[in-house]
Structure 1
């Protein structure tokens, strides 16, 4: 509906709105047209940016916007198109007020319109989250790299260390007092020396020692000789079904096996230390239960010399009969 002049304040606007009786989601609008006239229409309201004015495009029946260039009276903030009465200058004729700069239409419903600053906020938050994600990935990779380097260094130190330089773990300290540790260290040398009485060795066989203690350890660089001894024990028929395993941490109790022959007990000390407390307790219990489980282990002289102090902290190794054999 064309008219001479749009309402100039809220009171006049409300009166005109009641007269036109627009139905939701449309609202009463009184806008300047592209030809300089003014018209009343029921339209969906849209957001209008500051320094911009709404204009009715009669050709497509939609709201366009144009720029307000005057120094006084132009919109200074974002507002709804049905509140244009706040800025009477927007409904002046084009020659008196402004120059139209847009002929594009607004096709979105009013509830879908958002101020431009909302998009800026969304983009800013997304950028911050992306940066934090990148920083988190970098930190994770650096920590993982340092952890691998630390493990490799620790492993290298273990391989190079001598018995006196190998530190004891907290778990090992819990199971042995300082006094008892000192006693074990003093007795270590005697444990790995040949028996002082050669005649006694003639009467105490490997089979009898294994039957008595449940754990027999051979220490030698003669692999062939130790292999033969293990074979003789296996063929003695006194220990039931046998299994060969390596390394020691791979041991699991099997129902049909009661003799375990372990040729290379420690393949990697770090892996051994991770599982040693629980595994040693299980094997010690198996070697003392009835029926008994029997274990025969073989260490090279160098490996035993390197790890004996650590191993003798466990009851499983303390109770073992140790055979030191020169090749």
Structure 2
């Protein structure tokens, strides 16, 4: 039997598949559906320090091989998460990843401090949030802005710090190097791609915000390209995500050099997707005489 364990940030994860933020609740919702102990971790619903109601109007739209969403980071806030969600999340039998975004550097710093004190295992910093002090430009677009917020957060973060990158970065390799230099322990990418849809009957955009995030298999080849670039730019671990639907999809990211993968949109199609993909990775390894993931990680780059 293939050994699916992954060593990440000095810890041993049960497997290479981590449930992606915003697609898996906080974990307990899936406890009766999947064996969560087989996962490498669960990245909880994206949080902001004070919480927010999310976007009005249409929020989801299926597209060919994809899904558009305009949720707007609806969440209960860090304090509510710590009191009401985290205790059950810790009982899921896998590593607890808290995903946090903020609209100012100060919000990010305070949220990270609270989450670390509460005992999360990994902090995933979402830098796609708009920086209100910079006119609404997302932290994840310019490397200098990303370096600023990551450096500030690093000063209070006492757990492994993973920075989740936006595909809108001006220069992805420069962005990767900037967050590594600022103290990130790892990188996850990529977040959703900006997209647009028009309602022909209403003759207007489907979403109130006009643009929405596109995820799903349609973006996988682009996400894979970005992961390839990130692995080549930094020495810290890169966690790949974007349209992974099968074990074969996940193996592409691992062969491109990803330390682990995250599975998101697939959970809406198949609630057992994370465990199924884990199983499919193991089946491929057994069929090809591969004992550990280290044997094939980055092999496509050779």
Q: Confirm or deny a common fold (TM above 0.5).
A: no
- TM (normalized to structure 2)? 0.24
Larger Rg: 1
- The answer to which structure has the higher helix fraction is 1
Which protein, 1 or 2, shows the higher relative CO under an 8 Å CA cutoff with sep ≥ 6?
Answer: 2
